[in-house]
Amino acid sequence: MDSMAKLNFWLENDYFDQDTKNELISIKNDEKEVEDRFYKSLEFGTGGLRGIIGAGTNRINIYTVRVASQGLANYIKSLGKQGKGIVIAYDSRFMSPEFSLEAAKVFCANGIKAYLFDELRPTPQLSFAVRYLKASAGIVVTASHNPKQYNGYKVYGEDGGQLSLDGSNAVIAEINKISDITKVNIMDKEAAVEKGLLEIIGSKVDDAYIAMLKTLQVNKEAVAQVADTFKIVYTPLHGAGNKPVRRILSENGFKNVLVVKEQELPDSQFSTVKSPNPEERSAFELAIKLASDNNVDLIIGTDPDSDRVGVVVRKNDGEYAVLTGNQTGCLLLEYILTAMNEAGKLPKNGFAVKTIVTTELSREIAKYYDVELVEVLTGFKFIGEQIMLRDEKGNQKYLFGFEESYGYLAGTDVRDKDAVVASMLIAEMAAYYKVKGMSLYDALIKLFEKYGYFIEGINSFTLEGKDGLMKIKSAMSTMRTAGYTGFGSLKVKAIRDYQNSKRFVVADGSTEKITLPESDVLYFEMEDGSWFCVRPSGTEPKIKIYYGVSDKTLELSQQRLENLKNSVLEVIKPLL
């Protein structure tokens, strides 16, 4: 069936509501728009769904959410785990409550009890709730930090981690068996409640989550020493972090937390920011003004589903600097390992985890404390997986994990990045350094002086629609077969091709096997110790290039990074 035929099917079938039909009628004469909405079904990737909100098979709407839910329900039933139930959470995005309820009604119709939160909650709390309620799975309706026109549907397994690759493939197979979108099972909400298949949850899980977070405090004494005078500015960026982040900071002893009022309440339009992304300085404009007006050293901001956190610190010259995800992660890693080491509690079997595009500074820190550093593919699901394999089922002790894209996790009761625990530890860490007469920026410079000036960069290219997808695939194919030996004056030492599971050494032509799962990623190790990595985004129409360098001074590292970027883009940009 071509795109126009699919559109007509939606227009002519009584299964689809009138608002949906009206939307489709309004774009019926736009051939390109019709093609984009119907040329494929919205793909259920390794983490779930993510797409633009709207009518059509290649959009996220109540109908594509129902199909995904039916596929997941079939998968749960195939495992014989329908009796354990499924937990559902959502954030502040447009249609998040509606999509969550539609999913719940599908699970209930399939005899699977749905535990639905009474209002928006952070993604990490969903992960916690799956484990706490001993459910078979969980979903959270969110598009994380994406622009306002997006929403998504992330799936979690019974361990509280994002669904494994095998699990995702099994769900995809079940979804692909659904040939008629109008034949999904669905139950009325009132009937589901009456039959005990739909349970609304709230404060009991909140209290358990906060109690767990308190066990992860590292240095209560430092907070107590500066609590009366130490000020923090916090912004939830209109998202789910508002209540839990403020609660844990308050209950841990912080008395002066100033909230950015304009960004305090949920807002699906994210009207005060260009993008609700704590990776971007523009998201912190209001927070920086509030901090400047009130002589505040530390700013914390969480994204809409509160799994990522950004940090802004005041430098000695009074200016505010936005820390990168790599910098915050390394500060936390050093802080946690130092505290455990000084207390004589650093286990000999401890390990930390980073992704392949995360800073090599973390490797130096782990080496200094004699802690194993495990490297995984991009995506926090792989960090959660290592907790299960090495800590829960193995004989090692998980200490900390992070990724460059502002995701961090301490503790094992959550199996995804957690901006609530990270906010708690960042505030505590800032208090610890305050006692020593230092800011977090001072601590960062001290970190560089100790291990080297490691800095990183990223280029991201957005290529929308069907044509963009084809261009990204073509570029990756070209790079994979080009046999690069250098970029500008920089020579390639080795190329890691994670799709073909091989590391190719340029000097002698030898190859080594890569043991990580297959993924469309190319990683270039340069002879001067720098590196760059190219990968298409798994959730957005983007291709990303990550870079990492180090040198004896910040200025030399910045020069080296600029040279690396220019040399790489000269070769790769024409492919896009």
| Residues 438 and 460 placed together within one structural domain of the fold | no
pLDDT, residue 513, reads: 97
Whether residue 472 is contained in a domain is answered as yes
Rounded to two decimals, what is the model's pTM?
Answer: 0.94
User: Mapping DSSP to helix (H, G, I), strand (E, B) and coil, where does residue 269 land?
Assistant: coil
| Nearest one of 400, 273, 385, 276 to 328, comparing CA atoms | 400
Which amino acid makes up residue 106?
A: V
Q: Based on the domain organization, do 445 and 498 belong to the same domain?
A: no
Which CATH number belongs to the domain containing residue 560 in this structure?
3.30.310.50
Domain end: 451, 474, 506, which one?
451
Does residue 28 form part of some domain?
Answer: no
Q: What is the mean pLDDT for each group of 10 consecutive residues in the chain (576 residues)?
A: 94 96 96 95 86 96 98 97 97 96 98 98 98 98 90 96 92 94 95 98 98 96 95 97 98 97 96 93 97 96 97 95 97 97 95 98 98 96 95 97 97 98 98 96 97 96 86 94 94 97 96 94 97 86 94 96 97 93
Residue 223 covered by a domain? no
Position 464 scores a pLDDT of: 83
The CATH number linked to 164 is 3.40.120.10
Q: How many domains does the chain have?
A: 3
Are 436 and 308 in a shared domain?
yes
User: Are 331 and 201 within one domain?
Assistant: no
- Let me know: does 256 contact 231? Beta carbons within 8 Å: yes
Contact 89, 125 (CB under 8 A): yes
What letter would DSSP give residue 138? E
* Residues 465 and 419 reside in one and the same domain: no
Same domain as 117, residue 248 = no
Three-state DSSP at 545 gives strand
Indicate whether 269 and 127 sit together in one domain: no
Is residue 335 assigned to a domain? yes
The pLDDT score that the predictor gives to residue 145 is: 80
**Predicted pLDDT of residue 264:** 97
Query: How is 474-525 classified by DSSP, letter by letter?
Result: HHHHHHHHS---EETTEEEEEEEETTTTEEEETTT--EEE--SPP-S-EEEE
Separation CA 395–CA 520 (nearest Å): 31
Domain boundary among 402, 418, 451: 451
Query: Does 295 lie in the same domain as 444?
Result: yes
Q: Domain limits at 45?
A: 40-207
**Is residue 99, in this structure, part of any structural domain at all?**
yes
Based on the domain organization, do 173 and 249 belong to the same domain?
no
C-alpha to C-alpha distance for 404 and 414, rounded to whole angstroms: 19
Shared-domain flag, residues 410 and 393: yes
Q: Is residue 397 part of a domain?
A: yes
What's residue 467's pLDDT? 84
Which of 413, 430, 451 is the C-terminal boundary of a domain?
451
User: Vertex 239, ends 234 and 245: CA angle to 5°?
Assistant: 45
Distance CA 62, CA 40 (A): 17
53 and 147 housed in the same domain: yes
Residues acting as catalytic residues: 144
Does residue 215 lie in a domain region?
Answer: no
Do the domain assignments include residue 29? no
pLDDT score recorded for residue 538:
67
Which residues are paired to 116 by β-bridges?
Answer: 88, 200
pLDDT at 539: 62
**One domain for residues 443 and 460:** no
